[in-house]
Amino acid sequence: MSVQQIPTGKIINGEEVIAIELTNSKGTYIQLFNYGAIINKFIVKNAKGELQDIVLGFEDVTQYLDEEYLINNPHIGAVIGRYANRIKDGKFSIDDEHYQLVKNTGTDSLHGGDIGFDKKVWDIVEVGDEGQSFVTLEYESVDGEEGFPGNLIIDLTFELTENDELILTYEGETDKATAINLTHHGYFNLAPNGGNVGKHTQQIFASAYLEQDENYCVTGKVIPVENTPLDFTQPKTFEQDWNPSEGYDQTFVLDKIYGDLSLAAKTFEEESGLTLSIYTTESVAHLYTSKYLRAKNGKDGKYYGAFDAFCIETQHHPNAVNIYEFPSTILRPDELYTQTTIFKISVNK
């Protein structure tokens, strides 16, 4: 178990970008950047004993700043904030105060606005000692950033265990009531050579999903998954029921008590023998099979296109700040925002 910090020599907004490497005794290896709290590499041993990277990303951190990449706005591997997913019309109210956010997807606000947490250099505030493999990053989002109220401080710890679990623990405090909904936007592919994820087998422990409008914004209506293509209560491949030109881009309401850490989803890929199990304290998981992914010069020179990855974004209900029947996404000065999500890798030999 070890942690290493490696200067990249890259300066963004006057701050140096550091690569942080987490390893365990099994050879599992995580590379993070303090820019965007990006998980850039997640290397594990597959059923053949081969080392395999299961996340999309780039060799050079500056590629995350490429203009063409940013136009497509895929948020590869980054932490999303202040507010994951879409807020309808980019506006909300708290205690009769009205707030207008940056609109960066049609008439709505997506993933925190134009310059969200995924485009910030985070401070490294703590790293594990010998025998510990963790790092804690911190970011202070100032009052008014992207239109959100309050000075919000977020601490995010990445911990790699001997059981091949990557544990993400979030804590947040604010000096003024604000809206918050954080998630991690990793793009996963469990196949040894990547490519279309249609044959991955997926299970999501959710008996309902959230209706979306034509712009993918949640309306407030909760719909049973039974007898729909969105029923993943039993394992099935993505391609079994998907529209091959659309894939999936949907939020599922997990069959769990909010705040309890429990299994949300499992993904299996036959050739590698790898299973990714995701545990979370959050109330929903958003499944996205990367229809809009367009990124060139990925790792090993790969082009990442539509359906070359899947994302499972654990979070609070999207647009809940405007739908009062949903669990609250308002954080107040006397409260602590907390979330834990675990990405666990196992091998079926």
CA distances from residue 53 to 95, 143, 211, 312 in whole angstroms, order as listed: 46, 38, 34, 17
Is 313 labeled as catalytic in the residue annotation?
yes
The Cβ of residue 48 has, within 10 Å, a number of other Cβ atoms equal to 12
Is 184 labeled as catalytic in the residue annotation?
no
Quickly count helices (H) and strands (E) in the chain: 2, 27
Cβ contacts of 136 within 8 Å, gap of 6 or more: 124, 125, 126, 127, 155, 156, 157
Strand 274-280 with 284-288, pairing: unpaired
At 194, give phi and psi (nearest 5°).
Answer: 70, -150
Catalytic one of 159, 313, 316, 317 = 313
Catalytic one of 185, 200, 316, 317 = 185
**Using CA atoms, how far apart are residues 276 and 255, in angstroms rounded to an integer?**
19
Residue reference for tokens 């550091």: 18
Catalytic residues: 185, 313
